[in-house]
Homo-oligomer: A and B are copies of this chain.
Amino acid sequence: MRHSRQRDLILDLVRSRALNHPTAQDVHDAVRDHMPGVSLGTVYRNLHQLVEQGEIVAVQAEGPLHYDWNRQAHHHLHCSRCGALVDLPLELEDKVREKARHLGHSADIVDIHVRGTCSRCLNTST
């Protein structure tokens, strides 16, 4: 894998605090602020590549994929009120893996997805 200004920028942006679990579209928008010519195709290509290299992680919710700089974070709360994706440090992977093994399966990736309301929304509404 060679270097490219585009990919470096994309990785920086996904890793930045500014973007919270961005979609490819979000990344594209942010990228264009710094390098106007970058195409959406390039963003998709590079996000995919960075996931393959293990530099970032793809997170599935309803709708488009989201990307996460945190390679450990596989658990998320998807807020029904504001739509945000919030990291969820659950530490239940071992329990899931163990139960899966008991059922005769072998577990590689454990991914817990919660639909609900995030703390921010719960607080601002009351």
Using a CB–CB cutoff of 8 Å, the interface residues on chain A facing chain B are 60, 62, 77, 80, 86, 88-90, 92, 95-96, 99-100, 103-119, 122-123
Task: Tell me which residues across on chain B come within 8 A of A62, comparing CB atoms.
Answer: 60
**Copies of this polypeptide in the complex:** 2
* Interface-centre pick from A86, A108, A112 (highest chain B CB count, 10 A): A112
Interface pair A116/B108, CB less than 8 Å apart: yes
- A60-B60, A60-B62, A86-B105 known; 9 new pairs, CB 8 Å cut-off, are A77-B100, A77-B105, A89-B103, A103-B119, A104-B123, A106-B122, A107-B115, A110-B112, A111-B114
Interface pair B90/A99, CB less than 8 Å apart: yes
